[in-house]
Amino acid sequence: MRSLLSVPASQPKMVEKALTLDCDQIILDLEDSVTPADKAAARTYLKDFLSKVESKKRISLRVNELSSAFAKADIDLICGFNPQPLSSVILPKIHNLDDVRSWAAKLPAGMQLEVQIESAMGLIQAPHIASHPQVISLAFGPADFMASAGMPSSNPGTPWPEVANALQWPLMQVVIAAHAHGKTAYDGPYFQISDDLGLSSSARTARALGVDGKWVIHPNQIALVNEAFTPSPEEIAHAEEIVAAFNASSGATSLDGLMIDEASKKVAERLLERVTQIRK
Ligand code: GLV
Ligand code: MG
């Protein structure tokens, strides 16, 4: 998984277009990108769209917070399908394991859940949240997280320049919580949609921290995010050399001045596994 495109479910043209784009997953959003006045019409559209859609991509639905006035209708929509067209449900603003349990009890049995960690409490509780058997991924939500943590900013998801890297720490916590339980970790979106350099840097930073993929909110962001999350030919060749050198050794060796041991082999193998997964 590299890019997950979030589209407002209130915009049928954007939803239809998403099916044709090079993203790995489509997130049909009923939460923050859809105004309260548009939510009912968006659900009516989704009911029809999802009963007909055929796609090789993973298609997920982001519901409204369970405590909101909109959640009941979101749940009814999801429970009304048979067969179930959704690959997963995206749960925003999850603060603890009980939040996940409450959702799981209301959604179809066994539904895969992808949780957004986007509050101070959610971050503290992330290791417990990731332990739920139906939770398959955690995604960091930079904009809501900054609001919750009290970080000032005029650009959602972008801290003041004095602390430009401040979100790396919570993002890494999300990676650790997810990976500790064998789950996937995603970074949230980059909100400045015409800032390609900023997007690439944000995506590369995320990958460097161990993140598995990144949300995008505009079709123009897909290619850059896919590129950042796809190992380059040089990286692949180097990883193959490391594995070969290790396998030809008796447990440790060196390659062009680099010490190769069991750990470096594991890092290389993980990169090669990622390549296999992307090529599928
Ligand atoms: C995404 O939902 C965010 O809050 O950044
Ligand atoms: Mg959010």
The DSSP annotation for 149-184 comes to: HT---SBTTB--GGGTTTTHHHHHHHHHHHHHTT-E
Please give the Cα distance from 228 to 215 (Å, whole number): 13
Q: How far is CA 118 from CA 49, 99, 131, 265, in A?
A: 29, 13, 17, 34
- Residue ID of nearest Cα to ligand 1 atom 2: 141
Nearest protein Cα to ligand 1, atom 1 = 141
pLDDT at 278 > cutoff 90: no
pTM of the model: 0.95
What's the 174 CA to ligand 2 centre distance in angstroms?
Answer: 15
| Residue to mutate (ligand 1; options 27, 119, 144, 171; most atoms within 8 A of CB) | 144
The count of other CB atoms within 10 Å of the CB of residue 183 is: 19
* pLDDT, tens digit, 9 for 90 and up, residues 228-243: 999 999 999 999 999 9
* Mean pLDDT across 92-114: 98
The neighbour count for residue 98, using CB atoms within 10 Å, is: 12
CB-based neighbours (< 5 A) of ligand 2, an ion = 118, 141, 144
The residue to mutate among 5, 32, 186, having the most atoms of ligand 1 within 8 angstroms of its beta carbon, is 32
Mean pLDDT for 95-116 is 98
Average pLDDT of 70-98? 97
**What is the share, in percent, of the chain residues with pLDDT greater than 90?**
93
Mutation test of ligand 1: which of 118, 151, 190, 193 has the most ligand atoms closer than 8 Å to its C-beta? 118
Atom 3, ligand 1: residue with shortest CA distance: 141
Centre of ligand 1 to C-alpha 264, Å, is 34
Among the bound ligands, name the one nearest to the CA of residue 65: 2
Nearest atom, ligand 1, residue 156 CA: 5
Looking at residue 1, what is its pLDDT?
A: 82
What is the per-residue pLDDT across 107-164, written as a single tens digit (0 to 9) for each?
Answer: 999 999 999 999 999 999 999 999 999 999 999 999 999 999 999 998 889 999 999 9
Q: What is the SS3 assignment for 216?
A: strand
Report the percent of the chain where pLDDT is more than 70. 100
Any ligand 1 atom below 6 A from CB of 116: yes
> For residue 147, how far is its CA from the centre of ligand 1 (angstroms)?
10
Q: Determine phi and psi for 60, rounding to 5 degrees.
A: -125, 160
What is the rounded distance in angstroms from the CA atom of residue 94 to the CA atom of residue 106? 15
CB 188 near ligand 1, within 6 Å:
yes
Cα-to-centroid distance, 262 and ligand 1 (Å) = 38
* Nearest to 23, CA basis, from 67, 57, 70: 57
Task: Determine the atom of ligand 1 nearest the C-alpha atom of 143.
Answer: 5
Ligand 1: atom nearest CA of 118 is: 4
Residue 279's pLDDT is 84
Q: How confident is the model at residue 256 (pLDDT cuts 50, 70, 90)?
A: confident
Which uninterrupted H or E stretch holds 4? strand 3-8
Assess whether the C-beta atom of 53 lies below 6 angstroms from ligand 1. Answer: no
Look at residue 35 in the predicted model and tell me its pLDDT.
98
4-13 burial, b at 16+ Cβ within 10 Å, e below that, comes to: bbbbbbbbbe
pLDDT tens-digit map of 21-30: 999 999 999 9
**Residue 31 CB–ligand 1 contact under 6 Å:** no
Are 100 and 113 spatial neighbours (Cβ–Cβ below 8 Å)? yes
In whole angstroms, give the CA distance from residue 2 to residue 23: 7
For 170-179, what is the mean pLDDT?
Answer: 98
Q: What's the CA-to-centroid distance between 150 and ligand 2, angstroms?
A: 15
Q: Which two tokens stand for residue 109?
A: 């049995």
Check whether 205 has a pLDDT greater than 90: yes
Q: Ligand 1, closest atom to CA 147?
A: 4
Q: Tell me, what amino acid is at 233?
A: P
